């Protein structure tokens, strides 16, 4: 074979391998996509509709685009080799073979990873995957490897990799043998080069129109289960990383932008002068609170989802533990949403009024946020303490929250020194000792006459799940609850109940002591339970967490409290500020849930989650366009098929995350006037 034929054969083999690989990668992604749709879509919602075919079609286009882009280097190298020596043919073909196998490996690996991610988070890979990596690869790996289905996923990955590589190798051999057998008849002319490059470019763009495939193509339906199957694992990873990087890029807070947001949100123009201060308000002046400041204990509980507290999901199995008596006797808000769907961002939203999740590890970590909740209590004369079940270094929480108004911070390392018997996991220590330390702080309060504001963050109800041997009870699942579980293990249900038990015991201990008349206690979940199955009408239940509030008689409002109202994390701290503090300044970003309607600020009459806004009895998905109507919400917190009337106030509610962003940028960067 002459050198020209050798080089031309290389180009033809590379083209054939590229198109064969595109077909194989698309098949791998499609199998994973259909498996996810079958596994994570409720049986009564598996409807083969036009939107289903649209999801598959857009998915095909993303799949082919990924494979084409993965092989473009091989095609270009084989093209460059055409006019040069045949010595380049073998190295160029080796590069083609290596790239092709790399594409197959990545396709299989991230298909399985995305399948597992959907199982646990009910969404494809997103920016939280990168936030989670901030905890450290070792911690992340131990968490993943500790899940119940890890062995099955690992075996599936190995088998799928072996089969896919075997299929590719067999097809590659056929391509090579057939092309080599007719090498003298293979000619590469300008037409073949131009046409082949155009076809690969079109496939790589995913479109022949002006706009290539992009983020906006990922939403094909209002049904999240269909949107979830559109991106393959690598596409989801790519856009998740872009979102993660975007969230870390801060721009200067423009005064004109802030004034427009202020007007949109509060329904009135800001006054002349300093704008930032106008985003703050005050609690009412109270002689009683000034003379009798209560202790305040706020508990943020890991994965304390609302669904497992409701009979409609558990069918008679009570997982509330010792909390049940308190839920029945105190304020218990059941229609309640977390700010975010992960711990770190919910924590920063609650305590700092920011959605900048990486702030505790950023270059801004030493800047005191004026919107910090701990600062409000500290300025009011409180001793501020953070008790955390996790290790102090996770997300730099120990150091960071000390800079945000907490005078003391107790993490797992400190707790282990105080309680040597405490069991440690990859994330930290047993919640039992978090609550032991809270009791110790409250009961030894005479050493410091100041009232206490204590914030706790639990850790036990987090994979890998561990429940002390002396507190283990065999949990028998009924059919209703079993049907709800995807890969949520019995261990997770036990740690859920165990954490509720510990919290309930602490509350009971406080109530039965003299502290019961002077201590306000609040509790909510950082995010909902992961790994449960929900139908389309239960999307708010999928997200929801409880909000529990114990208020001693002397501090209770005189008016009736509506615990059926829809609310969210943004309302927690304003409620606590107004219960405990006299004439205290705080960021005016939520409402006092115990206030009567005529005194409540109408700007805050909505519930906010990063996925949904609920306004009165209407739910709006934030991923939808602002013009799209929402859906009616029933009294049982179910999202009905009935479209809601367009409420002009939704524009005000949609401005809320933009205001958090502006306030964050204002505080962290020099403002531009």
pLDDT score at 672: 40
pLDDT score at 432: 95
User: 413 pLDDT exceeds 90?
Assistant: no
* CA pair distance 522, 561, nearest whole angstrom: 15
Residue 444 backbone phi and psi in degrees, to 5: -105, 25
Extended beta strands in 31-80, E state:
none
Q: C-alpha distances in angstroms, 568 versus 525, 541, 547, 589?
A: 11, 13, 8, 11
607 bridge partner residues: 614
**Residue 428 DSSP code:** B
pLDDT score at 222: 53
Residues in Cβ contact with 364 at an 8 Å cutoff, skipping those fewer than 6 apart: 668
Residue written as token pair 């599936």: 156
Q: What is the pLDDT of residues 243-282, one digit of tens each?
A: 777 656 678 899 999 999 999 999 999 999 999 999 999 9
User: 84 pLDDT exceeds 90?
Assistant: no
- Average pLDDT for residues 421-425, to the nearest whole number? 88
Neighbours of 440 (CB within 10 A): 15
* CA pair distance 367, 667, nearest whole angstrom: 8
pLDDT > 90 fraction of the chain, expressed in percent and rounded:
45
3-state SS of 350-369 is HHHCCCCHHHHHCCCCCCCC
Q: What is the pLDDT of residues 319-330, one digit of tens each?
A: 999 999 999 999
pLDDT score at 173: 87
For the chain, how many residues are written? Answer: 673
- Average pLDDT for residues 490-503, to the nearest whole number? 92
**Residue 376 DSSP code:** H
* CA pair distance 559, 295, nearest whole angstrom: 22
Residues in Cβ contact with 415 at an 8 Å cutoff, skipping those fewer than 6 apart: 387, 389, 422, 429, 433, 434, 437
Confidence of residue 393 (pLDDT cuts 50, 70, 90): confident
pLDDT score at 123: 78
* CA pair distance 435, 500, nearest whole angstrom: 11
- Average pLDDT for residues 419-425, to the nearest whole number? 89
Q: What is the pLDDT of residues 511-554, one digit of tens each?
A: 999 999 999 999 999 999 888 888 889 999 999 999 999 999 99
User: How does DSSP assign 220-263, residue by residue?
Assistant: --S-HHHHTTSS-HHHHHHHHHHHHHHHT-----BHHHHHHHHH
Residue 221 backbone phi and psi in degrees, to 5: -155, 165
Residue written as token pair 């270059």: 363
Confidence of residue 673 (pLDDT cuts 50, 70, 90): very low
- Average pLDDT for residues 228-232, to the nearest whole number? 85
Structure-model confidence comparison of residues 673 and 144, the more confident one: 144
Q: Is the separation of the CB atoms in 637 and 626 below 8 Å?
A: no
> What angle (nearest 5°) sits at the alpha carbon of residue 270, between those of residues 267 and 272?
160
- Average pLDDT for residues 365-384, to the nearest whole number? 95
Q: Cα–chain-centroid distance for residue 179?
A: 50
Among 124, 122, 123, smallest CA distance to 232 is for 124
Q: C-alpha distances in angstroms, 29 versus 118, 140, 170, 230?
A: 14, 25, 20, 10
* CA pair distance 146, 149, nearest whole angstrom: 9
User: 225 pLDDT exceeds 80?
Assistant: no
* CA pair distance 90, 171, nearest whole angstrom: 19
pLDDT score at 551: 98
Residue 245 backbone phi and psi in degrees, to 5: -65, -40
Neighbours of 405 (CB within 10 A): 22
* CA pair distance 242, 248, nearest whole angstrom: 10
Structure-model confidence comparison of residues 671 and 151, the more confident one: 151
* CA pair distance 85, 340, nearest whole angstrom: 59
pLDDT score at 215: 67
Task: Write the class of the CATH domain 256-610+652-668.
Answer: alpha beta
- The rounded mean pLDDT for the chain is 86
Q: Cα–chain-centroid distance for residue 351?
A: 17
Q: What is the pLDDT of residues 606-661, one digit of tens each?
A: 999 999 999 988 999 988 888 888 899 999 999 998 888 777 788 889 999 999 99
pLDDT score at 505: 97
Structure-model confidence comparison of residues 472 and 4, the more confident one: 472
Residues in Cβ contact with 614 at an 8 Å cutoff, skipping those fewer than 6 apart: 335, 337, 540, 566, 568, 606, 607, 620, 633
List for the chain the helix, strand, coil content (%; round to 5): 55, 10, 35
- For the chain, give me the number of helices (H) and strands (E)? 24, 16
Q: Is the separation of the CB atoms in 603 and 279 below 8 Å?
A: no
User: 391 pLDDT exceeds 90?
Assistant: no
Among 303, 323, 319, 340, smallest CA distance to 548 is for 323
Residues in Cβ contact with 540 at an 8 Å cutoff, skipping those fewer than 6 apart: 335, 337, 612, 614, 619, 633, 637, 638, 639
Average the pLDDT over each of 243-252, 293-302, 408-417, 428-437 and give the range with the smallest value.
243-252
End-to-end Cα separation, the chain, in angstroms: 74
pLDDT score at 466: 79
User: 663 pLDDT exceeds 90?
Assistant: yes
Residues in Cβ contact with 630 at an 8 Å cutoff, skipping those fewer than 6 apart: 613, 615, 618, 619, 620, 621, 624, 643, 644, 650
Q: Is the separation of the CB atoms in 113 and 161 below 8 Å?
A: no
pLDDT score at 624: 84
Structure-model confidence comparison of residues 477 and 336, the more confident one: 336
Among 517, 377, 514, 522, smallest CA distance to 446 is for 514
Confidence of residue 20 (pLDDT cuts 50, 70, 90): confident
* CA pair distance 6, 93, nearest whole angstrom: 11
Among 231, 277, 24, smallest CA distance to 115 is for 231
User: 186 pLDDT exceeds 70?
Assistant: no
- Average pLDDT for residues 287-304, to the nearest whole number? 97
pLDDT score at 561: 93
pLDDT score at 19: 87
pLDDT score at 6: 60
pLDDT score at 1: 41
User: 600 pLDDT exceeds 50?
Assistant: no
Which stretch, 156-165, 487-496, 578-587, has highest mean pLDDT? Answer: 578-587
Neighbours of 165 (CB within 10 A): 15
pLDDT score at 91: 81
> What angle (nearest 5°) sits at the alpha carbon of residue 342, between those of residues 353 and 636?
90
Residue written as token pair 């995807």: 486
Residue written as token pair 């009895």: 617
Residue written as token pair 């927690």: 572
Tokens of 327: 């839920």
Domain positions in the chain are: 3-244, 256-610+652-668
Q: C-alpha distances in angstroms, 406 versus 54, 351, 375, 398, 454?
A: 51, 11, 7, 10, 9
pLDDT score at 263: 95
Q: What is the pLDDT of residues 553-570, one digit of tens each?
A: 999 998 899 999 999 999
Confidence of residue 3 (pLDDT cuts 50, 70, 90): very low
pLDDT score at 221: 61
User: 133 pLDDT exceeds 70?
Assistant: no
* CA pair distance 29, 87, nearest whole angstrom: 36
Structure-model confidence comparison of residues 153 and 377, the more confident one: 377
Q: Is the separation of the CB atoms in 276 and 670 below 8 Å?
A: no
């Amino acid at each position: 074979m002459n050198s020209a034929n050798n080089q031309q054969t290389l180009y033809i083999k590379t083209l054939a391998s590229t198109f064969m690989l595109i077909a194989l990668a698309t098949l791998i992604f499609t199998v994973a996509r259909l498996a996810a749709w079958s596994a994570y879509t409720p049986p009564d919602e598996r409807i083969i509709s036009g939107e289903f075919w649209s999801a598959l079609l857009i998915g095909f286009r993303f799949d082919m685009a990924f494979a084409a882009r993965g092989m473009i280097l091989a095609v270009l190298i084989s093209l460059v080799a055409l006019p040069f020596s045949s010595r380049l043919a073998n190295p160029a073909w080796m590069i083609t073979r290596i790239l092709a196998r790399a594409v197959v490996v990545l396709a299989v690996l991230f298909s399985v990873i995305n399948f597992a991610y959907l199982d646990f988070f009910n969404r494809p890979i997103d920016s939280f995957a990168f936030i989670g990596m901030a905890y450290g690869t070792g911690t992340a790996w131990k968490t993943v490897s500790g899940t119940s289905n890890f062995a099955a996923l690992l075996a599936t990955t190995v088998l799928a990799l072996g089969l896919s590589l075997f299929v590719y190798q067999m097809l590659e051999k056929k391509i090579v043998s057939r092309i080599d057998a007719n090498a003298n008849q293979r000619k590469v002319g300008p037409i073949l080069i131009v046409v082949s490059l155009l076809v690969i470019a079109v496939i790589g763009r995913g479109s022949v129109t002006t706009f290539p495939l992009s983020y906006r193509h990922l939403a094909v339906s209002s049904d999240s289960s269909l949107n979830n199957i559109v991106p393959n694992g690598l596409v989801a990873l790519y856009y998740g990383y872009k979102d993660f990087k975007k969230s870390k890029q801060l721009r200067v807070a423009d005064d004109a932008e802030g004034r427009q947001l202020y007007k949109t949100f509060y329904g009135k123009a800001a006054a002349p002068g300093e704008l930032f201060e106008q985003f703050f308000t005050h609690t009412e002046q109270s002689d009683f609170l000034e003379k009798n400041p209560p202790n305040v204990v706020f508990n943020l509980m890991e994965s304390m989802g609302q669904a497992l507290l409701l009979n409609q999901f558990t069918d008679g199995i009570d997982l509330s533990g010792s909390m049940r008596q308190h839920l029945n006797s105190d304020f218990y808000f059941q229609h309640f949403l977390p700010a975010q769907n992960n711990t770190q961002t919910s924590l920063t939203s609650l305590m700092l009024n920011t959605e900048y999740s990486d702030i505790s590890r950023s270059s801004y970590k030493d800047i005191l946020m004026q919107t910090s909740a701990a600062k409000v209590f500290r300025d009011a004369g409180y001793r501020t303490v953070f008790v955390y079940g996790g290790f102090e270094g996770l997300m730099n929480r120990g150091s960071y929250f000390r800079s945000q108004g907490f005078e003391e911070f107790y993490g797992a390392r400190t707790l282990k020194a105080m309680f040597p018997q405490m069991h440690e996991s990859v994330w930290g220590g047993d919640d039992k000792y978090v609550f032991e330390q809270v009791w110790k702080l409250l009961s030894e309060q005479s050493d410091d006459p100041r009232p206490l504001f204590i914030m706790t963050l639990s850790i036990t109800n987090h994979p890998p799940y561990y429940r002390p041997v002396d507190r283990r009870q065999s949990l028998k699942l009924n059919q209703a609850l079993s049907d709800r579980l995807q890969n949520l293990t019995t261990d997770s249900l036990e740690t859920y109940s165990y954490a509720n038990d510990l919290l309930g015991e602490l509350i009971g201990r406080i109530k039965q002591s003299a502290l019961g008349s002077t201590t306000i206690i609040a509790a909510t979940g950082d995010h909902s339970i992961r790994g449960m199955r929900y139908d389309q009408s239960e999307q708010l239940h999928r997200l929801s967490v409880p909000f529990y509030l114990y208020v001693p008689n002397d501090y209770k409002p005189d008016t009736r409290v509506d615990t059926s109202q829809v609310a969210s994390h943004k309302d927690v701290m304003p409620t606590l500020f107004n219960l405990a503090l006299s004439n205290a300044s705080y960021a005016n970003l939520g409402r006092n849930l115990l206030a009567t309607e005529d005194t409540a600020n109408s700007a805050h009459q909505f519930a906010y989650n990063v996925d949904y806004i609920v306004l009165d009895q209407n739910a709006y998905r934030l991923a939808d366009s602002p013009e799209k109507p929402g859906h009616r919400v029933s009294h049982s917190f179910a999202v009905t098929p009935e479209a809601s009337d367009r409420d002009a106030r939704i524009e005000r509610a949609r401005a809320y995350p933009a205001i958090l962003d502006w306030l964050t940028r204002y505080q962290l960067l020099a403002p531009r006037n």
